[in-house]
Structure 1
Amino acid sequence: MEAFAAIVLVLIGYALGSAKLINEGNEALVERLGRYHRKLRPGMNFIVPLIDSIVMEDTTREQVLDIKPQNVITADNVYILVDGVIFWRINDMEKSFYRIDDIQVALANLIQVELRANLAERTFEQAIASRTEVNQALLKTVNETAADWGVQVIRVDIQSITPPESVQKSMADQNAAVIRKRAAITAAEGEQEAAIKRAQATRTSVQILSEALRTNPESKEILKYLVAQEQVEASHRLGTSNNAKVVFLNPGVNSEAYAQMVGDIGTDELVQNNNPPENGSATA
């Protein structure tokens, strides 16, 4: 009876020792007597105790690896500080374990070397403007090497490119100058547009006034009254101003100007009135 109980305990221990549960999204590698034997898939798996051993269990899901900030010299000799991030996953668990010692260290060093080499061929402005192009170039180059490690790099993102303080100050001054230039151009265009609209409004007003004077003779007297009233108000404003000056108006000239505005005399007659004959001679 005791022997039977011992056999049962041994079988239970064997079953427990041989059963291996692999979680979804993971895979495991099994070696038998020191040599690669097989791969364990998610779910319940059984191995031979004391003969088989699990040497690696890792995820096949997408992972994120930060690239530490590093100094890079561009083609125009500008020192910049660059950092980034890569998204990757294991496609072949066997290759990732047997062909490379530390896959994350290897990926980080590979991306750093390729990043320096890529940016060294570009100027600082090109590096800033073509960040997407740099990401795509790095992705292609890194995957060519990472494929031998059983790894796929899904995406490479350069997070920041930081130039020295002197370059940052120069960029800030340049941006400020561009903003001031745009503001000056916008203001000039606004003033030009406003002047054009004022001229158009004045022209329209003159046309309306001229038409009213031609069609309604009584409007001439109204115009004379309005002009005289405006002159009185202007004189009053000059009188109350601290910097007021005495202005003498020629009634004759004003009368002739009013007459021309309302159409009482023509332009030729106005010229004659303003230029009297010499030596007291009169025009017949």
Structure 2
Amino acid sequence: MYDVMYIPFFNMFQMVMLGVRNAALPVARINVPKQNLRSSLIYNGVQVRCKGYAPINLGVMFVPEQEAWIVERFGKFHRILQPGLNFLIPVVDRIKYVQSLKEIAIDIPSQSAITSDNVTLSLDGVLFLRILDAFKASYGVEDPEFSITQLAQTTMRSELGKLSLDKIFHERESLNVSIVESINKAALSWGITCLRYEIRDIILPARVKEAMQMQVEAERRKRATILESEGVRTADINVAEGKRQSRILASEADKQEQINRAAGEATAIMAVAEAKAKGIKLVAESLKSQVSGLTAVSFKCVV
């Protein structure tokens, strides 16, 4: 009977000592893919993201703001520790994941893509995301950042294949929005939301650059020719308009001169006519006075 009771007690003592020994192990750093800007640490099987240390279960835990600690009990998910004071059972409870709820920027490495007009180009970008559900981010995907990076690369290639090279440069903002919407649809089950995506650099092949440079130069020459012809046309129009205005002004001057001449002649004729009329009137009055005098003389002689 004592042997039966002793064996479970001894096994439990071994488990406690093993947990204490493991709690004293140093933190081991592992290699992280280059596109992942955040460091990952493994401590006693505990994966810690965005932290330089692995939390040890001391019974009384203080969780920082904007962090979520995933606790497992006997290897099964138990609960999520919220910021502030939390109590755990040593050895029994284990902190499995530490998720940061802050906005994170991930560098998307350069990759090649083919546009709808069969132009191969290389481009990279920056992805801004945030963890909304710490449980899904911990158990829904093995490595959330690596998965979201791969998803961003494939989505970017897919969206670029729908546009031509000219539209990529002109509709860059709408392209970023389309990539964000596609990523959010796929990453919904991971508890991650993509806030925004920014295309950083677009690298074109040398031949495409030369062709675009030639096109730009041809467009500039075309604009210069158009501007020159517009200048000549405007100059000709201005000259013709000047001649027209000059002729109009000359004809107006001739017309006014003729009017003035006619008015002068009419005035002269009127003056002559008035002078003649006055002369005739004076002659008539003189004759009338003479006739009246002769009549009076004749009347006196008769008397």
What TM-score comes out, normalization by structure 2 length?
A: 0.60
Cα displacement string for residues 36-78 of structure 1 (whole angstroms, at most 9, x for unaligned residues): 1111111222222222222222221221111101112234332
Counterpart of 1:207 in structure 2 is 248
CA drift at 1:121? 4.1
2:229 is matched by which residue type in structure 1? A
Unaligned runs of 5+ in 2: 1-56, 259-303
Cα displacement string for residues 119-158 of structure 1 (whole angstroms, at most 9, x for unaligned residues): 2344433444443443333223222221111111122222
Counterpart of 1:46 in structure 2 is 87
Change (3 A) 1:77 1:212: closer
2:154 is matched by which residue type in structure 1? V
Change (3 A) 1:78 1:207: closer
Unaligned runs of 5+ in 1: 1-15, 218-284
Pick from 205, 228, 239: which aligns with 1:187? 228
- SS state of the match for residue 76, structure 1? coil
Cα displacement string for residues 6-54 of structure 1 (whole angstroms, at most 9, x for unaligned residues): xxxxxxxxxx932222222222111222221111111222222222222
Equivalence map 1:1-284=2 (5 Å)? 17-212=58-253, 215=256
CA drift at 1:89? 0.6
Partners of 1:76 and 1:207 in 2: how far apart? 60
**More displaced, 128-137 or 38-47?**
128-137
Partners of 1:122 and 1:204 in 2: how far apart? 55
Partners of 2:220 and 2:132 in 1: how far apart? 50
Partners of 1:137 and 1:50 in 2: how far apart? 47
Partners of 2:136 and 2:255 in 1: how far apart? 100
Instruction: Percent identity, please.
Output: 33
Partners of 2:158 and 2:241 in 1: how far apart? 62
Cα displacement string for residues 177-206 of structure 1 (whole angstroms, at most 9, x for unaligned residues): 112111221221122122222222233234
CA drift at 1:216? 5.8
Partners of 1:29 and 1:55 in 2: how far apart? 6
Contact conserved, 1:128 with 1:161, CA < 8 A, in 2?
Answer: no
Partners of 2:162 and 2:241 in 1: how far apart? 57
- SS state of the match for residue 58, structure 2? helix
- SS state of the match for residue 187, structure 2? helix
Counterpart of 1:6 in structure 2 is none
Partners of 2:257 and 2:208 in 1: how far apart? 73
CA drift at 1:97? 0.9
CA-based RMSD of the aligned residues comes to 2.3
Aligned length: 202
Partners of 1:205 and 1:36 in 2: how far apart? 97
- SS state of the match for residue 20, structure 1? strand
CA drift at 1:114? 2.1
CA drift at 1:172? 0.9
- SS state of the match for residue 194, structure 1? helix
1:135 is matched by which residue type in structure 2? N
Partners of 1:196 and 1:114 in 2: how far apart? 57
1:20 is matched by which residue type in structure 2? M
